[in-house]
Each structure stands twice: as C-alpha cells, then as structure tokens.
Structure 1
Amino acid sequence: MCKNNNFYKKNFIFKIIQNDLKNKKYNFICTRFPPEPNGYLHIGHIKSICLNFFIAKFYKGNCFLRIDDTNPTTENIKYINSIKKDLMWLGFKWDGNIKYSSNYFELIYEYAIELINKNLAYVDELSIEEIKSYRGTLLLPGKNSPYRNRSITESLKLFRNMRLGKFPEGRMCLRAKIDMKSKIIIMRDPVLYRIKFQKHHHTGKKWFIYPTYDFCHCISDSIEGITHSLCTLEFLDNKVLYNWILSNISIKNYPKQYEFSKLKIEYGITSKRNIRLLIKSKIVDGWDDPRLLTISGLRRKGYTASSLKNFCYHIGVTKQNNIIQLSYLEFFIKKELNKVAPRAMAILRPLKIIIDNFPVKKKIKLLIPNHPSNKNMGYKIIYFTKEIYIDILDFSEKEKKNYKRLILGKKVKLRYAFIIKANKIIKDNNGNIIHVHCTYYKNTLGMKIDKKNQKIKGIIHWISCSNSKAVLFYLYNNLLKKKNINNTDNILSYINKKSLQIYNGFIEKKLLQEQKKQHFQFEREGYFYLDKKYSNKKQIIFNQILSLRKS
C-alpha cells in the first residue's frame, strides 16, 4: 500500500492501537468505513478510507464496508453503487460482505425498547421547531419537554404504534432522557427515532420509523465487533452520546471512538448539500464534474488512484485542523505523470501558419521521442508541411517584454523542426488574424538555441494541419473564488464563472492509435486526460489535469 512506514510512524492512532495490543485489550483489530449513501464520496473520504484499510492490513485485521442507510429520504441505490465503484478503483477490498445499518434495525429497535423500560427514553410530541427551541444554546440551558415524564407504559405503547405507522411524520419521536442542562448540547435529550413514510432501498416498506445516525452508529459498531471507531473531529461531542448509549444497553462489545482532523483543501467543495445545490443550479454537470473534489470527479479529471492515496499517506493523520494547499495535491499527480505520460504536441487555440517557401505537396518526416528522458517509451513520426498550426498565444504583432515566441518580423524555433520567420499577417474585416505567412530556414533542422542565437526568440510547439485531428480541450480553474468557505456560507456568491473554458483545437492525428494511454503531457500546455466516458466517435474530449503555462 505505502512504500514506507511513515504513515504508521507519524500516526497517533497507531500508537493507541499498539498500546491496546500490548496491554492485551484486543487480540484482533477491526475497523470500518461507514459512508452514508446520500451522495458521492469525496477526497475527505479517501483519507478515512486509507486510514481504516491501512490499519486493518497493517495489523492483519478486518476492515468492513458499512452502508449507513438510516435515512431513506436522502439515500439512493445509485450512491451505494458509486461508493463500491470508488473503493474498488482506489484498490481497496473490504472484508466479508457489505454491511448495512439497516440489517440491524430489529436489534436497534429492541435496544430502544430497553431504554424506554429503563426510563432512559420517552416518546415526545413536540414539533421539530419546538425541540430546537427547548434545547437552549451554548450559553443558555435547555428546558424539559412537557412529555419528558410520561410513563414507561405510555411511551412503550406510543413507540410500538409509531412502528406500526399509526402516526403521521413529525407527530412524534423517541428521545433519550439524559440532561437538558448539559454543557454538551447533543446530550440534551437527543432524538433516537423519527417517523418517515419513505420506501427504503434495502428494507422496502417494512419500517415507518428509522433510528438516527447517533443511535444506530455505535450499536452497529458494537454488533460488528469494531475495536476502533475512527471519525473526524466534528463528531467529538458525539462521542459522549456514543458512550452513553453503549453504557446503558445490554450490548457485549464496547468499541471506542477516536477523532482525527478533517481533510480540507483550498478552493475545495466537499459538502454534499452544497454539491447538490451546484448540480441543481447547473453550475456543475453532476457529481463527477472534474471541478469537484469527489472521487469520481478527480478520476474523470485524470487523477490516478495511486496519486490520491500517496497524497493522503503523506499528509498523515493528526488532531489539528488545517487547510491543505491545492498545489500539494497536484504535486503527487504531477510527480507520477512526469515519469509515465507520453509527450505530444497539441494546439488549444489554433492559428494557421503558411510556410511560403515550402512546397505544397512536400512533407518532411520527423522522428521524435515519446518521452525526453525515457527511451524505453520509444519514438513516433510527425510531419512538417506547408501549413501548420501554432497556438495564437505564441504569436504577437509587436515586441513584448520577455516575450520569447513568434513576433512579426522576427524568428522562432519550432519544436523538433525548423526556424521560421513571420513576414505577413492576414486579417478578416473585424481585424482578427486569419493566418500568418512565414518563411522557414532549410538548414536549421535540429539546430539548438543557445547564446549564439540571440536573434531566435524561443521555441514553440506546432502541428501539421494535414496531420491533425480536431478535439475539444476542457481547461479547469478553481470553482471557488475564495480559498476556504464554511458550509453555512452562501456558496453561489463565491462561484468562479470562468472555472471551465472549452477550446476547439488539434492533436497529432495518430496519437490515440499509437499511444494506448489516457494520460498525456501536451508540451508547454499541461497534463491532460482523455475523457473516454464523455468522448465519442464524433467528439473527443481531453480534460486538463495541470497546466504548464505560466502566462
């Protein structure tokens, strides 16, 4: 999994497990990855996946995949399928069959009955709004519900009738009886069950009541024999409730919860609520939009499973919340692709160049490497012809400071080919450049540009017009204009309207036939990924992973 043990050595959770094993608290380690199927997995989940699966493998234990399906209102089978697909793509295999929280509904219901019988839970008839107002604030204590002291017999009867579907949604709920004056708000009589007349993907229409995450999660951990329940710091207060529930029901296994910092990346959006809003507003085209940090979005953009895992292994696991620079994530895919991605020339913003002193029917065959430092990747043939494309950014009518490209009346070197000089510009009626007439210098093939050739401005890439293939290039910028936003922020006000730019350009005609790959480095442009999912015979799409251009 990881080439070194740094992930193990720098991880405080591993130290806890080591001590537990040393003190013989456990002789077999069991972890789990418990996503809620209400959206696609994102990069934050990869950190949790790596941690839970790495621990299980390191200690030769088990790691389960548990689908936390306690809310049929927002859950969908398509999300479960995407979760499985993402895990398999990342290279992780869960132990045994997939677990579902819904498998334990009957047991969880019986534990709720046990709490009622112990006078530690009651059926409440306050509305959701009233429950919130009764709960109080961080500064003000909550107050008891008028139904808090109803008899055990009455609560049992009402709860059983809730299960039978005799009350409408929102009419009643089951709450734990803990302490409405607790400094930890979650301990102020939290809701354990709510009524939902919604068909469940797994249990169908069997249930009319569903346990809350907090009530179900700890019991599911115990049933599965989880030894170390790992979650992010946002669940720190929930741990008190986690322990309270397990301490007050007759359950055998008693897992312990440990928290680590959540993964946050600059300009990143991981909130499922916000992603749904972006999809609904048609700002992104789905959960796999390459501008999102969902696993499917990163995969479609061109990130590899190994680069994402290596990123998570290197940032480590701590209790300190911080925001990771986007460039650090990009470093790992760049490091990987720099070694394996074939080089090619592509023109994103084409400008036609006509070589006046080159014969119309002539073409010169050029043999160039697929990779400048890896000869094992072989060579390919490209052609130099009378008409070629260059990028319009590589041409200027006038001199510019530090501009080392083609300038009217000046010379430039074509990559792997000749030196050319721009002589004349042809424009349309609106003043737009249609094409540029140039001359080429026959004896400059293979000439190196050095200090002796000060008149040569620089080296630019190009493609023969007759040996090119039209494609679309999707260039992605940050979806947000702000480095970091809170989940409560109005996300639509921070959207970068230029986060996607689409260019009609060209690649080498036989590139995809000769290279059975999806990743390429288009010279001077960046790393790109062939989007096979959305490409077809009529339209080929390349998604930009990283840019190489500085201007």
Structure 2
Amino acid sequence: MIQINQIKNFIYKIINQDLKNKKYKKIHTRFPPEPNGFLHIGHAKSICLNFEIAKIYHGKCNLRFDDTNPNHESKIYVKAIKKDIKWIGYKWNKKSFYVSQYFKKLYKYAKILIQKKLAYVDQLSKKEIKKYRGTLKKTGKNSPYRNQTVKENLKLFKDMKNGKFKDGDLCLRAKINMSSANIVMRDPVLYRIKNIAHYRTKKKWCIYPTYDFSHCISDSIEKITHSLCSLEFLDNNQLYQWILKNLNIKKHAKQYEFSRLNLEYTILSKRKLKTLIKNKIVAGWDDPRMPTISGLRVRGYTPESIINFCKKIGVSKKNHLIEFSLLEHCIRNHLNNIAYRFMAIINPLKIIITNLPDQHNEKIIVNNHPLYPNMGTHKIYFNKIIYIDKNDFQEKANKKYRRLTMKQEVRLRYSYIIKVQKIKKDSFGHIKKIYCTYDKNTLNKNPTDRKIKGVIHWISKKNSISAKFRIFQHIFSIKNPDTTKNYLKYINNKSIKIKNGLIEKNLIKNTDIKFFQFEREGYFVIDKRETIKNKKITFNKTISLKGKKY
C-alpha cells in the first residue's frame, strides 16, 4: 500500500484512507476539459493535481473531453488541449476519451429515469423554467408538464431525438424537488435540443446531455475512483450522487471539490478570454499576455515553473486571490539556472571611444553562466564604436546615480572603464552620441587611485545585429478584474511595448539555446512566429530580473 504522508492536502489524505480501507485497488482520476477554448493557468492546477495523483499512486488519469455543447466546440481546441498537456509533461491513460462516445448510453440512461418516473419532458421556455425555479429565499413551483405519463414523456423524448422540435421548444428535466434548499436539485435539465452539427458525431444527434447528467455517468463508465472538481460544483455534488443512485450504478466515484485558481490582474474564464480576442485586445489564445498555457509558453514560461507554481499554491477548500508575483517567482527561479547570459541593448545610445584606432577588435571571453562552467563560453568584442542603454547616461545626476555622467566614470561589463569627454546632440536637444576614452589598464581590474561606482552592459557595433523586443505588462489595471461586470473598462492600454535594439551576433549562432538572460534587462525568449512575420529576430520578455521573494 502506498502512503504519501508528507503531502498534507486533504485529497491525498482521503486517497490514503481509501487505500488503507481497501476501498480501491488502483487510483483512477480524470481531467475533463470542455473543448471550447484553450487551457489557462487555472486548468494547470487541475492538470497537475489529477495527473500527479495518478503518477504518485501508480494509477491512471484519463483525458476526457466534455464535448456536450456543439455550439462552441471544435477539433482545434481538442488539438490545442492535447498539445498543452503533453508540453507540461503528462501522459494520459491510453487513448483520449470523449463524452460524445457515450451519447448512445446516456440516451438509454435518460429513458430509464423517465420509465422510473424520475424525469419528464418540459415544454416551458428557458425564461419560464428560470422563473419557476425560484430563488434562495423563495421555493420553486412545479412545471405544469411535470405529471405527464411515462408514455407521453417517452414519445416526446423520442421526438426530440428525431429532430421534430426547434431549439428551446422542449427539454428533459429530472423530477426531484422544487422546494429543495439546493437550487441545483430543483428539477435540473438533463437534455436540451441543439440543432447543430457536432464536430465528432456530425448530425447524428440533435439533443445533447448537460454536464451534470453526462459527467457522473462518464466517470462511472471509465471506472474513475476520485472525481475532482472546483468548488463551483459543490452544490452539484448532490445531483451527481442522485443520478447514479437512481440509475442503480453501484460502483462509482465520489466527487471532491477544491478551490479554483484566482490570479491577480487576470481573468480565468474562457468566455471572457474569448471576448478579449473578439475585441482584438489580444492577438489570439497564445498571445504572451494571455493567462493560457500556450500564451505562457510563447512568453517563455517553462513546464517546470508552472508545475512548481501549482505545488506552491497547494490544494484547499478555501478560495483566495493568488499573487501574480508568485507565478513570476517560479519562472524567475527556474530561468536563473538554465538561461544563457548575453548582452542586449534595448534603448541604444552610441558611444565612440576616441583613444581606440578604427581597426581595433579586441576579443574577450565570457562565461555563458556565472555559476555553471559546463554551459560554456562565448566571445564579445571591444571596438571603437559601442552602444550602451540610454538610461545608463545622464548629463546631470544626483549622488545616488551609479552610472555614466559627464563627471562620473563607469565600468563596461567584462571590460574597461570609460570616461566622457563630450556629447553631441541633434537639433531637438536629444543626445545623439557620446565621445569617451577608455582606461587601457582596467580590463577586469579596478584602479587603485579612484573608486568606480557602477557597471553597465554594452555591445560593440561590429559584434551586433538589430532585434525587436516585445515587453509586456498585465492586461488589466486592477488586481481582481474577474469580480466586476465591466472588466473591459480596466484594460491596460500599455500592456505591450515594442522596442528596437541590438543583440550580440553570437547569440543566434547556437540554435540549441532557448532561454536568455540579457544582463540587467531580464529574461527573454525568441518568438519564432513574430521573427518570421517581421523578418527581424524578435524577443518576448518573460520576466524581469528582480521580484518578490518567497
């Protein structure tokens, strides 16, 4: 028997107890996404939970597509979901499953409920059903069609299946209790009419089961032992058990609810994310500003960082808002160990070294990573013309400014100390270039006669190529946009900035390098699609160098 005592969350404790009591021989979980959009970071929490449980307990985890709503589902989303799960690093049990493959069985189960006088075909409209259902303070009332005979209900249900009605004309409802304190139990809808082709079953069906009806039965068919879902389905648990009990399905999973992921400055609703795409606020599901798995991948996040994030936030029954900086902390920690160090100038300012001859081309060997010699070295070159960042020079600066000024020297990273002689401005008063001298006796050495306050990064003109940099901020300007109806009001119009600068030539020679730390700038990754589109090497900024410590 496997015992995972070091893991404290309540689901593992339940599984340990079930194994101890020999309730199950093997643990079997499932991840059941609806193929109506791309997966987001909220889904990652469920992916990690379900697949990790199967991995730790040597069990199985099914990938099952909840494809019961043909209006919004497609093969494109199925393909994207599979790609994301594989990228994170998990493998599902055998082939992928689909609720649509159980449509015939589900239809038979629905007829059983009708025959047992536990379901009826209702002719009320959607608005009328909502009105009849009541509220938390007011009990519901029975539909006038609730007491139709079994024969009438079976005929109407068959006619629904055979396409004799329009969408919304009829629906199949469970006959439970319209006075129940749990509104979900007030005769919930089990089947509805949708005269639209399904991406898998085409036009074979025009009635489709609801999630509540299909989910518990699908769990049973697949012999799932622990059905894990977010807290929003807590009230549905009672219906889950009612359906299985009244269908006389003896061996079935028990549903356990855990808190969903709520992340600062982010919306985690596929419907709302679609709105961002529709309104062209973002370029698509994989826009690097999106909280989707594919968006995070394009931005430079790694599977390891996402898994680590999910482990850190844990699993509980209490909803709370997670700091976005925790997600950033996870990717920063990982990239710090695997990203190769190079220099890039995002806001170029030209420097001319006056005491260097034009043909000077001094080679300097630098490490690709300061802590890991096995990551190798690369060459940089010191020439007459170099570039520094515009922010690293000020004509007038206070005592706290530790970079280049008219009177203050600065060290070039891995190289020499330079000193300003004069500056040249354009007709608008903007600094066009700076003339400096270098101290030839200071290659990686500090002078004994003076103190140098700062070190800045740089690139020589001969050792550089132009590049585009995409720098991102949060899409929303408020911490919890998911709680407001007018969430589009809080769109951050400065969520993306485009910069044109320079990178080291050696950077692109090694195609095996995926992650870069541009010294003093942050962590970056090459965006291959934007590079092809712009015909210019394009980088996405993943994260800054500094952040909150955890």
- In 2, Cα distance between the equivalents of 1:167 and 1:431? 75
- In 2, Cα distance between the equivalents of 1:379 and 1:106? 63
Tell me which of 138, 141, 148 is aligned to 2:139.
141
| 1:99 counterpart residue number | 97
Amino acid at match of 1:476: F
| 2:177 counterpart residue number | 179
| 2:463 counterpart residue number | 467
- In 2, Cα distance between the equivalents of 1:269 and 1:217? 25
| 2:512 counterpart residue number | 516
1:308 Cα deviation after fit:
0.9
- Is the 1:409–1:422 contact (alpha carbons within 8 Å) kept by the matching residues of 2? yes
Secondary structure of the corresponding residue to residue 349 of structure 2: strand
Secondary structure of the corresponding residue to residue 237 of structure 2: helix
Amino acid at match of 2:487: I
Cα displacement string for residues 166-186 of structure 1 (whole angstroms, at most 9, x for unaligned residues) = 001111111111111111111
Aligned pairs for 1:377-396 (under 5 A) are 377-396=375-394
1:354 Cα deviation after fit:
1.4
Tell me which of 38, 49, 52 is aligned to 2:50.
52
Secondary structure of the corresponding residue to residue 506 of structure 1: strand
1:150 Cα deviation after fit:
1.9
Task: Point out the more displaced range, 536-545 or 88-97.
Answer: 536-545
- Is the 1:354–1:438 contact (alpha carbons within 8 Å) kept by the matching residues of 2? yes
Structure 1 unmatched runs, 5+: none
Secondary structure of the corresponding residue to residue 298 of structure 1: helix
Amino acid at match of 2:539: F
Secondary structure of the corresponding residue to residue 438 of structure 1: strand
| 2:545 counterpart residue number | 548
- In 1, Cα distance between the equivalents of 2:486 and 2:507? 44
Cα displacement string for residues 139-181 of structure 1 (whole angstroms, at most 9, x for unaligned residues) = 1111222222222211111110000000011111111111111
| 2:122 counterpart residue number | 124
The answer on 1:503 being equivalent to 2:530 is no
- In 2, Cα distance between the equivalents of 1:281 and 1:246? 43
1:489 Cα deviation after fit:
2.4
1:113 Cα deviation after fit:
0.7
- In 1, Cα distance between the equivalents of 2:519 and 2:35? 41
Task: Point out the more displaced range, 482-491 or 508-517.
Answer: 482-491
Amino acid at match of 1:373: L
Amino acid at match of 2:77: Y
- Is the 1:354–1:437 contact (alpha carbons within 8 Å) kept by the matching residues of 2? yes
Amino acid at match of 2:326: Y
The answer on 1:264 being equivalent to 2:262 is yes
Aligned pairs for 1:308-387 (under 5 A) are 308-387=306-385
- Is the 1:525–1:549 contact (alpha carbons within 8 Å) kept by the matching residues of 2? no
Amino acid at match of 1:486: D
- Is the 1:222–1:252 contact (alpha carbons within 8 Å) kept by the matching residues of 2? no
Cα displacement string for residues 20-69 of structure 1 (whole angstroms, at most 9, x for unaligned residues) = 12222212211111000001111111111111111112222211110110
- In 1, Cα distance between the equivalents of 2:219 and 2:203? 25
Cα displacement string for residues 264-308 of structure 1 (whole angstroms, at most 9, x for unaligned residues) = 221122110111010111111111111111110111111111111
1:396 Cα deviation after fit:
1.0
Secondary structure of the corresponding residue to residue 46 of structure 1: helix
- In 1, Cα distance between the equivalents of 2:396 and 2:511? 39
Aligned pairs for 1:397-546 (under 5 A) are 397-448=395-446, 453-454=450-451, 456-486=452-482, 489-514=485-510, 516-536=512-532, 538-546=535-543
1:449 Cα deviation after fit:
7.6
Relative to the length of structure 2, the TM-score reads 0.96
- In 2, Cα distance between the equivalents of 1:532 and 1:518? 11
- In 2, Cα distance between the equivalents of 1:549 and 1:503? 21
- Is the 2:378–2:506 contact (alpha carbons within 8 Å) kept by the matching residues of 1? no
Cα displacement string for residues 196-235 of structure 1 (whole angstroms, at most 9, x for unaligned residues) = 0111111111001000111110010011101110001111
- Is the 1:269–1:292 contact (alpha carbons within 8 Å) kept by the matching residues of 2? no
1:424 Cα deviation after fit:
2.2
1:397 Cα deviation after fit:
1.4
- In 1, Cα distance between the equivalents of 2:121 and 2:450? 87
| 2:297 counterpart residue number | 299
- In 1, Cα distance between the equivalents of 2:430 and 2:223? 70
- In 2, Cα distance between the equivalents of 1:265 and 1:439? 50
- In 2, Cα distance between the equivalents of 1:410 and 1:326? 38
1:5 Cα deviation after fit:
6.3
| 1:249 counterpart residue number | 247
- In 1, Cα distance between the equivalents of 2:546 and 2:309? 24
1:432 Cα deviation after fit:
2.1
Secondary structure of the corresponding residue to residue 176 of structure 2: coil
Cα displacement string for residues 100-155 of structure 1 (whole angstroms, at most 9, x for unaligned residues) = 00011011111111111111111111111111122111111112222222222111
- Is the 1:65–1:98 contact (alpha carbons within 8 Å) kept by the matching residues of 2? yes
- In 1, Cα distance between the equivalents of 2:422 and 2:384? 15
Amino acid at match of 2:141: K
- In 2, Cα distance between the equivalents of 1:473 and 1:286? 19
- In 2, Cα distance between the equivalents of 1:273 and 1:49? 20
Provide closer, same or farther for how the CA distance between residues 469 and 5 of structure 1 changes in structure 2, counting only shifts above 3 A.
farther
- In 2, Cα distance between the equivalents of 1:332 and 1:548? 12
1:488 Cα deviation after fit:
5.2
CA RMSD of aligned residues (A): 1.7
- In 2, Cα distance between the equivalents of 1:170 and 1:352? 69
- In 1, Cα distance between the equivalents of 2:13 and 2:546? 44
- In 2, Cα distance between the equivalents of 1:87 and 1:178? 38
1:487 Cα deviation after fit:
5.4
Amino acid at match of 1:140: K
| 1:221 counterpart residue number | 219
1:193 Cα deviation after fit:
0.6
Aligned pairs for 1:7-18 (under 5 A) are 9-18=7-16
Structure 2 unmatched runs, 5+: none
Task: Point out the more displaced range, 168-177 or 509-518.
Answer: 509-518
Amino acid at match of 1:539: K
Task: Point out the more displaced range, 531-540 or 143-152.
Answer: 531-540
Aligned pairs for 1:63-212 (under 5 A) are 63-212=61-210
Number of aligned residue pairs: 544
- In 1, Cα distance between the equivalents of 2:145 and 2:262? 42
The answer on 1:43 being equivalent to 2:41 is yes
- In 2, Cα distance between the equivalents of 1:102 and 1:35? 13
Tell me which of 219, 233, 236 is aligned to 1:235.
233
Amino acid at match of 2:545: L
